[in-house]
Amino acid sequence: MLGPVRAAALALTAALPLGVLKGTTPLSLVALAGLCVALVPQGLALLSEAPRPGRAAVVRWVPLTLAVLGLMTLLGQAG
């Protein structure tokens, strides 16, 4: 599935510090770049091969997504 280059790039993600209040360091930028190198080609391949959603699905999901986004914005502002 992953070639050796993409597998090594994915392994760089282990260097990424996760948690609350972690600063951005050059090492974390390298780890994120490795994650992008590993996963972006797979995502592009998936998008190009997957079937497109029908008009009914778009009409159903776009208003729901906008409503949830608005609700999350209001809840986030309320604290």
Instruction: Report the pLDDT value the prediction gives residue 21, as an integer from 0 to 100.
Output: 66
Instruction: Report the pLDDT value the prediction gives residue 26, as an integer from 0 to 100.
Output: 85
Residue 9, Cβ neighbours under 10 Å: how many? 20
Q: With CA atoms as reference, report the closest residue to 29 among 20, 17, 38, 19.
A: 17
Instruction: Report the pLDDT value the prediction gives residue 62, as an integer from 0 to 100.
Output: 96
Q: Is this structure's pTM higher than 0.75?
A: no
Q: Which residue has the higher pLDDT, 61 or 1?
A: 61
Instruction: Report the pLDDT value the prediction gives residue 3, as an integer from 0 to 100.
Output: 86
